[in-house]
């Protein structure tokens, strides 16, 4: 038996954003396999399993239960007795339903196709298709007509209206959003725990995509970008100061300034957003490095002028207090409108608050504001302490190595 179906089989690729923050629902589960019906059953099972998970809202899937279709099951043996093949039968059905171009009709410069096919009511009627006569020539050259019902069984059924594919496999997607006051990552982790023991048939898989997948990509990219930035800054500082100890002091202050970022997120009860908070941390690193360079470089200048280490640190702290604090204050004040949505409407000449973009930029702004405020104290108090301590360590190390070298020489 061979089956001909009149249906729509659509291969749809998943659109993805190449740039920008993670997009898509908080929960996006892709089920892949070969049998579309089995995929629908798995999707229904998963939906039933996770529907009562706290924080899961707007749960749905894209499984198409099917559209009406007419199925023609060709009996090969009967068709062979009449000297027919499945190609002849398929072409006759295609002509009857979709039509074929018999001629063209020209009106002036316009040309129209003349399509021959069954009437609209006959195309959807089983009885009309059953009595459809298939005209063909046998091996003797005689023209014969055979009703379609004599070589095939015709029935109504349902078939998928759309089939989505990914990597050559059929895919059904289950999606859901996280409710307000629920962390999307926590909700997704709860869903993963519930589905951890789910047993799938052979060659059927589930994959967590959407916001989770995009967030993982963004996290990997920002992690690499941060490490490359740190290494490049460190390399430039080593060349600039001709030393390893002082660049280490500056880079350690960048790491310690993250304490301020976490304090800000705790105060505002915000999660560490991979994208915007990560961008804020990278931006913060540049400002912190700049402030520390200003301070440490002036300490070195004063020491070259003959000041003692203690006097150079105190004098440099007093002289560089204003530029360091001004840098921090101006940066913080400049970020406050962006972070909290304050703005000025030039048309109504009035101030506005809680702008629509505030939530988008808030995590980045909080990271920079609190991180920079903490780093400013760090620069003026802790960094000089590090400088003095490390300078003692370097002197002691040189003395020890000098003594060892002298003993070996003797």
The full set of domain ranges for the chain reads: 2-66+162-209, 68-159, 214-409
Residues of the chain with pLDDT under 70: 1-24, 65-66, 159-162, 212, 343-347, 350-358, 402, 405-410
Q: What is the rounded CA–CA span in Å between residue 278 and residue 222?
A: 7
pLDDT of residue 354: 58
Torsion sign (Cα): 395, 399, 404, 409: positive
| Residue whose pair of structure tokens reads 């808030």 in the numeric block | 362
Pull the structure tokens for residue 383: 């960094």
Q: What is the pTM of this model?
A: 0.54
Instruction: Kindly list the distances between the CA atom of residue 4 and the CA atoms of 10, 79, 121, in Å, as whole numbers in the listed order.
Output: 17, 14, 21
CATH of domain 2-66+162-209: 3.30.70.1320
pLDDT of residue 18: 38
Query: Which residues sit opposite 351 in a β-bridge?
Result: 344
Q: Give CATH superfamily name and number for 214-409.
A: Multidrug efflux transporter AcrB transmembrane domain (1.20.1640.10)
pLDDT of residue 2: 34
Helix (H) or strand (E) holding 79: helix 76-81
Structural Rg of the chain based on CA atoms: 37
pLDDT in tens, 261-301: 888 888 888 877 777 788 888 888 888 888 888 888 888 88
pLDDT in tens, 300-351: 889 889 888 889 888 988 888 888 888 889 888 888 888 887 766 666 776 6
CATH 3.30.2090.10, applies to 68-159: yes
Q: Are strands 67-74 and 2-5 parallel, antiparallel or unpaired?
A: antiparallel
pLDDT of residue 75: 87
């Amino acid at each position: 038996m061979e089956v001909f179906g009149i249906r729509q089989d659509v291969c749809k690729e998943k659109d993805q954003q190449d740039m920008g923050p993670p997009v898509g629902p908080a929960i996006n589960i892709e089920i892949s396999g070969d049998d579309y019906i089995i995929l629908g059953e798995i999707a229904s099972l998963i939906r039933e399993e996770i529907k009562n998970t706290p924080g899961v809202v707007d749960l749905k899937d894209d499984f198409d239960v099917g559209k009406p279709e007419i199925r023609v099951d060709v009996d090969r043996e009967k068709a062979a007795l009449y000297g027919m093949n499945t190609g002849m039968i398929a072409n006759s059905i295609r002509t009857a339903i979709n039509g074929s171009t018999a001629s063209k009709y020209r009106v002036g410069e316009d040309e129209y196709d003349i399509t021959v096919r069954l009437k609209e009511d006959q195309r959807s009627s089983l009885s009309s298709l059953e009595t459809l006569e298939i005209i063909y020539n046998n091996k003797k050259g005689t023209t014969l007509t055979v009703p379609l019902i004599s070589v095939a069984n015709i029935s109504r059924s349902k078939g998928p209206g759309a089939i989505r594919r990914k990597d050559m496999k059929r895919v059904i997607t289950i999606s859901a959003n996280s409710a307000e006051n629920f962390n999307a990552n926590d909700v997704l982790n709860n869903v993963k725990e519930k589905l951890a023991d789910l047993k799938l048939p052979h060659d059927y898989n589930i994959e967590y995509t959407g916001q989770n997948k995009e967030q993982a990509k963004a996290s990997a990219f920002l992690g690499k970008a941060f490490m490359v930035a740190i290494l490049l800054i460190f390399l430039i500082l080593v060349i600039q100061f001709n030393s390893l100890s002082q660049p280490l002091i500056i880079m350690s202050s960048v790491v310690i300034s993250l304490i301020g970022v976490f304090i800000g997120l705790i105060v505002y009860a915000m999660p560490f957003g991979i994208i915007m908070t990560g961008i804020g941390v990278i931006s913060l690193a540049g400002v912190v490095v700049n402030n520390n360079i200003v301070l440490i470089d002036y300490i070195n200048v004063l020491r070259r002028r003959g000041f003692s280490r203690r006097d150079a640190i105190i004098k440099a702290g007093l002289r560089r207090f204003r530029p360091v604090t001004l840098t921090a204050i101006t940066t913080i004040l400049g970020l406050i409108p962006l972070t909290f949505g304050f703005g000025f409407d030039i048309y109504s000449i009035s101030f506005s608050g809680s702008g629509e973009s505030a939530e988008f930029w808030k995590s980045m702004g909080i990271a920079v504001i609190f991180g920079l405020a903490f780093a400013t104290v760090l620069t003026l108090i802790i960094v000089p302490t590090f400088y003095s301590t490390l300078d003692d360590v370097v002197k002691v190390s040189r003395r020890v190595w000098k003594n060892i070298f002298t003993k070996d020489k003797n």
